[in-house]
Structure 1
Amino acid sequence: MSSPTKVSEFPLDEEYKKKTMISVADIKKFRDWLDTQPHLPADSITDLDLILTYHCCDRSTGVAKEVLDLNLTLKTLFTNFFKERVVDDRILSTLNTVLLLPLEVRTHDGSAVLYARLIDYDYKNFTFSDAIRAVLMVVDLWQYEEGTWPGFVIVIDLDRMTLGHLTKLDIQTVQQFLYYLQEAMLVKLKGLHFLNAPSFMDRLMMLLRPFLKKALLDVLHIHQIGSKTVDPYVPMEGLPKDAGGEFKSFEQGQNDTKARFKANQDFFVQENKKRVVEARRPGKPKTISDIFGSVEGSFKKLDID
């Protein structure tokens, strides 16, 4: 990730040079289909958006169509995360509470790694839905800048998390985030790591487990306080200095993320246009109850090696 300045879209000609085996013809065909969907915002969907979708679906045209529709549908229905995404006092306050830091290090297979943790330890200042809102903004901006990744890994450092924080995790937000993460996020999710697991980790897992597919459970790793067991997955030296690595300090990372948001407000203005118009959807408009009524019929497979 570059310095916290205004970023530009990853060049398409460079994207087509990656080892994704995605061609211009593939995306042209995808675009032709998109133009036939009256409820989808075709004019706001970029070719890079289509490439990200096609890539995360292992170049399956049928799955890519379903996932793009679902991605845009959830961005419309999950208003806590996606409505009016702007760089305002709400989001900047969230970034004073949680550190969300794209790491420069990559995993052995080239997967991108997002590091997240608390930096304000007072649970009264923690709002879970706002934290997730910020996470998804960070990832969307990062993908816009870097294009496709071979995979995506999330590292959540639970250092200083308390039972007070756990009480702030509401079921609806947990369900919506984990559904979006596994079914509609335009990444190949390769791993989820919890560092510095607290004594009440079992309670946290009781909250998460009902919404985790087996494929994600298989790559979910819990690392005990002070252990270095994450190293075979994510090189320890790539973590922030305050977490035992050699990357930025927490304070530097926090300042850089806030500066990136402020410098790229236009990106989020444009991203807000990528929403579904349900009134134009062929057939019956979709609702949240429709979405969670069809969980058993999910189609996106996690890309687990």
Structure 2
Amino acid sequence: MLGAVQPFLLEKEYEKNPDILQDDIRKLKEWLKTQPHLPGELLTDLDLIITFHSCDNSAQVTKQVLDLHYTLRTLFTTLFKDRDVDQRIINSMNTVLLAPLPTPTVKGYRAVFCGLLDPDARLFNFADVIRTTMMVLDLWQYAEGTWPGFVIIIDMNQASLAHIAKLDIMILRQTLYFLQECMLVRLKEVHFINAPSFMDKLMMLLKPFMKKPLLDMIHIHETGSQELYKFIPKKAFPKDLGGDYKNKKDIGDDLIHWLQDNKQFYIEENKRRVNEALRPDGKKTTIEDLFSIQGSFKKLDID
């Protein structure tokens, strides 16, 4: 996974997804020409394949999700504006491990492991952690292309109420909105492991911003539970957790170098934003407008 990232060969993507036709992507490119506010000229065929796949190959949903995806990347400036592998990102990666696991889940999905490397809550900056998470996921997906499914594992070991107190509500709301409405993955499962006694307090914070499909995906595992391994092989995890992968510190160091080796990727990605002044209907979209929208563009998949 690590190393210089090259766009995934399109031929491989079409082999992986025989139900996606080149003509589907051609039609999306033609549609993008009618949407001057979107960064259509900067989007590659791989970007469109990933989006189309994440939307269950629906052209109509793909158009809505493409618009919302890049609109949110423009409006949610704390998470997406002028991203670079700077010191705040490195500090975040030294505090929290955001590790794409090398081994697929039991059902063949790709999984990301998130957990504290340093338990000192004073070092925990929630906005920077989410910003870093999005940077890691973007690069990983660019390296691998489409995934049949996506799984999030959050290790609550070493987490404290002091960490929960540092969760910024607006950032939390934006993150969950992006995840549910237009993140370019087929989200299948969310696992909280080593759940602490205050897990109920965390869920109380999360639930107001979560729709039922996402709530139904959540699995909470207490410390010592073996239930998680029914979903994800134990060997997939870091050695610190009894798996066969590298230890957490080495994984974190490798990820920092990986992002640093691919700074150009973020320079180019930063250009893919919306110009609201060119929106065809003339109505600029605001965060307030988005959060007042009812319904969902993108359907979450539940096993």
Pick the TM interval, shorter chain.
Answer: over 0.9
Which of residues 236, 239, 243 is equivalent to 1:238? 236
- The percentage of counterpart residues that share the same residue type is 53
1-structure distance, mates of 2:163, 2:274: 34
1:244 CA displacement: 2.1
Contact 1:100 1:114 in 2 (8 A): yes
1:6 CA displacement: 1.1
Contact 1:228 1:236 in 2 (8 A): no
Q: Provide TM-score, normalisation by structure 2.
A: 0.98
2-structure distance, mates of 1:108, 1:44: 36
Contact 1:15 1:148 in 2 (8 A): yes
- Give 2:292's aligned residue: 293
1:140 CA displacement: 0.5
Which of residues 273, 276, 280 is equivalent to 1:275? 273
- Give 2:116's aligned residue: 118
Query: Which is further off, 226-235 or 267-276?
Result: 226-235
Q: Give the AA of the match of 2:284.
A: P
Partner SS, residue 37 of structure 1: coil
2-structure distance, mates of 1:39, 1:297: 23
2-structure distance, mates of 1:244, 1:169: 29
2-structure distance, mates of 1:272, 1:200: 38
Show CA shifts across 1:224-245 (max 9, x none). 0121110111112211111221
Alignment partner of 1:284 is 2:286: no
Contact 2:71 2:274 in 1 (8 A): yes
- Give 1:258's aligned residue: 256
- Give 2:56's aligned residue: 58
1-structure distance, mates of 2:6, 2:226: 36
Alignment RMSD (CA, Å): 0.9
- Give 2:84's aligned residue: 86
2-structure distance, mates of 1:189, 1:37: 28
Show CA shifts across 1:115-158 (max 9, x none). 01010110011000110011111111011000000000000001
Show CA shifts across 1:77-127 (max 9, x none). 001110001111111111111001100111122110000101011001100
2-structure distance, mates of 1:157, 1:237: 16
1:20 CA displacement: 5.0
1:297 CA displacement: 2.3
Contact 1:20 1:55 in 2 (8 A): no
Show CA shifts across 1:204-257 (max 9, x none). 000001111111111100000121110111112211111221111011110111
Gaps of 5+ in 1: none
